[in-house]
Structure 1
């Protein structure tokens, strides 16, 4: 479905080479034979380029991380904390410029980008402090001469593969706990959004962090991940992306029994009961659903409205959705930017068409934006669908776009069963004032995270992650630090005491 006509009005080309480098062993690396051009999804213009690193480049980065591991791991937590806090300081000072850069390459509104950077700095500071609290244990022995201790030590070199939808936060959420734990890292950012990654690493290098502790390689995900998976010195891989790719990584990682953190796909339901605050529910749902143009892993995929309030809730959601302003992220007062690329836009269009063909009503939106300022980008009108049923693809696939399907339900057991009838288990949301129901829902919903009377889940102190085919491991909280630590059991027998 399209609306409007295409136009041609290319914008002036910016400095493409400002961030054209990789970071290996504390040095800028620009010797790649080829480069990757990065395009603004709102305008289609080239906004930068980075080297197209290869397997040899990735191997050099692993070498550097491996050589730096012992020295970094032996620093005190307080020493590592100083580098992390300096990194956060620099991100906060450069926040506005970084937000503009992120908006140009990813498309999200500058205000959203700035919020992502604020949250990233908070994650760094939280782990800078949490790294000081890596406590061991002393366990009573079984004999008078026996002393049992448990130490927590860094897992080693970590390969990190990050996505394009939150290109700063996803790097920070992995790098901060790993560095705080004493691990060294090699990061491979998404090829759609590598510029913000290079900029963040520039700020990290400016702290004077020891060479080789943090490395960044840009290029083919398949080629670089192949090095991560085949090199025995890479003891852990942290990946955020599709379940399909996550399964492939898990299968190959099993050969060397590498540690894994996988944050994968999700089909998140929100369930709204008649006793809920409907104004709060509608605002929270729209805020979550259309954040980052719907391209959020824990974003709401389907809205289950109790049949007693289905019409009222739908009207509130439609009204709020119609008020959303769509445009390039660097324009003032824009609420929603573009989808990341043409493929994503066409996929959303297909899901809406399938729903309409199977009986859904399009209450607002339902078409691509193509005229005037939208002509060169990947824009889709914020869309609300009602009369949605379980046979529609929007109920079975991760939408990852600005489409809000509303389905109705009659009772608690029914909606729990329908919500759990998915291989995914990342996040779920519930709106109700009934405390007993809150406990029943939280206990029975098969998801790694459940939010009640709100839709915000990402905070530094809590464990973010899913179950089932939504992945394993956690980002956030002391649990996120644990994912970068090995336990070592020490059994000490004292001399001269017998036994």
Structure 2
């Protein structure tokens, strides 16, 4: 007889509960296809209850009127607990999301760092005193918004949750978080840790469920004052339209098709290795994935040879294995979506140098695995060059000179992230300023630094996560004028 998998309830008002209709969603390990949990599937009624409780906690005043230093101390306790339970959380993230355990540990460390950063930042975020004229002075205050609806994707479930939760709580808001229905486990675990740290009941609520019901109800709920959504551009467009009727504040972190520009004077040893993980980290399921590589023609052949050789040796395997470098895709459907792009690339005439194969024997055959693919002989009008694939697929194309590199990089409706490689700092800064993107790394593939703003331009979104600017997105200015007489 099969052992039953654990049940995970909704986190509403400080309690774990079943959904109002008793329905659940089975959560699977993408590396094995085995069920790992039954999770309560929130209904519209459950969402309404969570929002109403969050609104009551906000209106009661205890949380929003708490001294910022005290809220910071509470956030620090959450950070400390995340560090204490880091291995447990990493195992959850690895098993639920298919991440190599080494990568999952790094993500949990980032979660703790995020809460710690906002623990220290919140009491350093002030209003202003403005002498407006001889008759008086204006004071500005930063006030919390109210209930914040936070909707996060499945590719980095806990990291992105922390990016949103920590600044929202720091400013005195209350939160209803909707994790992706396929990866809800780490967010529910975080809700438990927050209560253990002393967060008042009902300040943080977690409602897993389908986007069509839970997400839509959250976005349109009249008591929700702020929506922060991370996901696809198509869904983000719908979120923005739905939020417009309620004149709600909206932050959107959406899709990407980032460019990686390699000039002839680049340090190829460092560049190739970094570029591999800029594409294949998290099996390519990353909005910042540098899936378009543009290489200056004099070194194009050498780069392609070295990159392809490394892609062929990338260890794809069991996420629990410490040596694994790339795990599975999140679901069978996601793998099928990526295979559709691979078929398209083949049919449109691109040359596939390696990868794009489904393991058919051994333990990998049970999971959603796919070998890393490399394409050359690509054109800018091909689907694999224009659309976000969200899988382990890269296109490599030559260029001649700065102007062409900039034109190719900007030939996309997206503008999230990117990289460029050169030893010429003057050229690096010229090109960086010319590329239409919210973030860009020079001689690096890293986009994420908790101290710096994270977000995109064009169809990659509006608003910013991380850094001090995130506190602005979770607060409102109030101006008070004081007359001198």
Does the TM-score normalized on the shorter chain lie above 0.5? Answer: yes
Give 5+ residue unaligned stretches, structure 1: 1-11
Q: SS of the counterpart of 1:206?
A: helix
Number of aligned residues: 482
CA spacing shift, 1:437–1:55, aligned 2, 3 Å: same
Q: How far, CA to CA, are the matches of 1:182 and 1:383 in structure 2? A: 46
Other-structure match for 1:106: 97
Aligned-pair CA distance for 1:296: 0.6
Aligned-pair CA distance for 1:390: 1.4
Q: 1:123 pairs with 114, 118, 140, which one?
A: 114
Q: How far, CA to CA, are the matches of 1:221 and 1:212 in structure 2? A: 22
Aligned-pair CA distance for 1:418: 1.8
Q: How far, CA to CA, are the matches of 1:399 and 1:416 in structure 2? A: 22
Other-structure match for 1:251: 241
Q: SS of the counterpart of 2:149?
A: strand
Q: How far, CA to CA, are the matches of 2:195 and 2:363 in structure 1? A: 38
Other-structure match for 1:155: 145
Aligned-pair CA distance for 1:143: 2.5
Other-structure match for 1:362: 352
Other-structure match for 2:13: 25
Q: How far, CA to CA, are the matches of 1:392 and 1:90 in structure 2? A: 47
Aligned-pair CA distance for 1:50: 0.8
CA spacing shift, 1:31–1:354, aligned 2, 3 Å: closer
Other-structure match for 2:25: 36
Q: How far, CA to CA, are the matches of 1:14 and 1:480 in structure 2? A: 44
Q: 2:171 pairs with 178, 181, 201, which one?
A: 181
Other-structure match for 1:467: 457
Q: How far, CA to CA, are the matches of 1:31 and 1:265 in structure 2? A: 31
Q: How far, CA to CA, are the matches of 2:478 and 2:103 in structure 1? A: 42
Q: 1:71 pairs with 45, 59, 62, which one?
A: 62
Q: How far, CA to CA, are the matches of 2:38 and 2:321 in structure 1? A: 23
TM-score, normalised to structure 1, is: 0.94
CA spacing shift, 1:15–1:180, aligned 2, 3 Å: farther
Give 5+ residue unaligned stretches, structure 2: none
Aligned-pair CA distance for 1:13: 5.7
Other-structure match for 1:5: none
Aligned-pair CA distance for 1:347: 1.9
Aligned-pair CA distance for 1:15: 5.2
Q: How far, CA to CA, are the matches of 1:42 and 1:31 in structure 2? A: 28
Cα-Cα RMSD: 1.4
Aligned-pair CA distance for 1:470: 0.4
Q: Is 1:142 paired with 2:130?
A: no
Other-structure match for 1:7: none
Q: SS of the counterpart of 1:44?
A: coil
Aligned-pair CA distance for 1:14: 6.0
State how 1:402-417 maps to structure 2 within 5 Å: 402-417=392-407
State how 1:377-416 maps to structure 2 within 5 Å: 377-416=367-406
Counterpart contact for 1:15–1:47, Cα < 8 Å: no
Other-structure match for 1:47: 36
Q: How far, CA to CA, are the matches of 2:31 and 2:353 in structure 1? A: 25
Q: How far, CA to CA, are the matches of 2:171 and 2:359 in structure 1? A: 46
Q: 2:332 pairs with 301, 318, 342, which one?
A: 342
Aligned-pair CA distance for 1:190: 0.2
Q: 1:332 pairs with 289, 311, 322, which one?
A: 322
CA spacing shift, 1:184–1:470, aligned 2, 3 Å: same
Other-structure match for 1:267: 257
Counterpart contact for 1:13–1:46, Cα < 8 Å: no
Q: How far, CA to CA, are the matches of 1:342 and 1:397 in structure 2? A: 20
Q: How far, CA to CA, are the matches of 2:224 and 2:348 in structure 1? A: 48
Counterpart contact for 2:6–2:36, Cα < 8 Å: no
